[in-house]
């Protein structure tokens, strides 16, 4: 089996064998719209199979595994939203990493970007621990939630526009359930992905759309959108993103 079957004891697995599985984009829309609460929504997200290319990739990576993780069981399923169910801060990324979240079963967990992110969240009071290694490691987000706009690891870290659209109903419904005070978009792709969800959720959006930038803030009535450079290895190696830069964003987000 190249993925963890739902309800078989993986820490924090939101699903059970009875959780409804979406196998087409139409079923994603239906199952997202009819989710009664955030618990069922994340359960349904975590077993979705609506994008054939991404399902094949996430399971192939889970099967073959990176050499350093040969002895580990990979999650191999979509990475559902995770954290506080009633958060003040919602952090939005684009998609999980094939050997990161797709391995550990938790968003931003198990890769270098996540190391930077969780360390900053801990320094700024939004995470209980400075590291995030694996689902079930005791890490908790404090008044904060994380979600990927596309929930399955894509080849070359690049989902297609169609795959992003397929996953959109999960994002929209989650946004409608959790109603954050602040959204932090990690990277330009996440910035682009969140705008249609904000529009569909009923927010009045400025036109033209403000350009993405680190520290750019867009007030949207009861909600503020903040841009943050992605703590990718390329950005952290080159100094485009530093620890103080990340801390400034999350200190600001926590201040609302
Ligand atoms: S990317 Fe989203 S819609 Fe596509 S299979 Fe994964 S969870 Fe389902």
For the stretch 128-157, pLDDT in tens is 999 999 999 999 999 999 999 999 999 999
CA of 237 to the centre of ligand 1 (A): 31
Q: Say if ligand 1 is within 6 A of residue 95 CB.
A: no
Residue 62 lies in a domain: no
Residue 13 lies in a domain: no
Residue 155 lies in a domain: yes
Q: What is the rounded CA–CA span in Å between residue 12 and residue 135?
A: 7
Residue 124 lies in a domain: yes
Q: Say if ligand 1 is within 6 A of residue 151 CB.
A: yes
pLDDT of residue 1: 61
Residue 234 lies in a domain: yes
pLDDT of residue 212: 98
Closest CA to 25 of 61, 57, 52: 52
Q: Which domain holds residue 209?
A: 79-254
pTM, rounded to two decimals: 0.97
Q: Say if ligand 1 is within 6 A of residue 148 CB.
A: no
Q: Say if ligand 1 is within 6 A of residue 152 CB.
A: yes
**What pLDDT digit, counting tens, does each position of 7-30 carry?**
999 999 999 999 999 999 999 999
Q: Say if ligand 1 is within 6 A of residue 41 CB.
A: no
Residue 60 lies in a domain: no
**CATH number of the domain encompassing residue 201:** 3.40.470.10
Number of folded domains that form the chain:
1
Q: Locate the ligand 1 atom nearest the alpha carbon of residue 49 and give its number.
A: 5
Burial class (CB in 10 A: 0-12, 13-18, 19+), 68: exposed
Residue 19 lies in a domain: no
Residue 68 lies in a domain: no
Nearest CA to ligand 1 atom 2: 167
């Amino acid at each position: 089996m190249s993925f963890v079957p739902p309800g078989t004891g993986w820490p924090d697995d939101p699903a059970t064998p009875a959780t409804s599985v979406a196998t087409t984009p139409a079923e994603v829309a239906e199952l997202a719209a009819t989710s009664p609460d955030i618990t069922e929504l994340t359960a349904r997200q975590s077993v979705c199979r609506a994008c054939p290319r991404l399902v094949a990739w996430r399971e192939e990576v889970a099967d073959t595994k990176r050499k350093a993780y040969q002895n580990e069981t990979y999650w191999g399923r979509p990475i559902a939203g995770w954290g506080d169910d009633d958060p003040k801060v919602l952090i939005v990324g684009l998609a999980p990493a094939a050997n990161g979240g797709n391995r550990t079963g938790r968003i931003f967990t198990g890769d270098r970007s996540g190391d930077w992110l969780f360390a900053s969240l801990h320094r700024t009071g939004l995470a209980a621990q400075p590291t995030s290694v694996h689902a079930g490691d005791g890490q908790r987000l404090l008044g904060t939630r994380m979600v990927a706009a596309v929930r399955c690891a894509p080849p070359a870290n690049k989902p297609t526009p169609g795959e992003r659209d397929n996953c959109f109903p999960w994002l929209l419904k989650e946004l409608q359930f959790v109603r954050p005070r602040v959204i932090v978009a990690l990277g330009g792709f996440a910035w682009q992905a969140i705008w249609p969800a904000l529009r569909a959720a009923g927010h009045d959006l400025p036109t033209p759309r403000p350009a993405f930038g680190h520290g750019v803030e867009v007030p949207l009535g009861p909600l503020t959108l903040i841009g943050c450079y992605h703590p990718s290895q390329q950005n952290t190696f080159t100094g485009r993103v530093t620890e103080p830069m990340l801390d400034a964003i999350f200190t600001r987000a926590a201040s609302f």
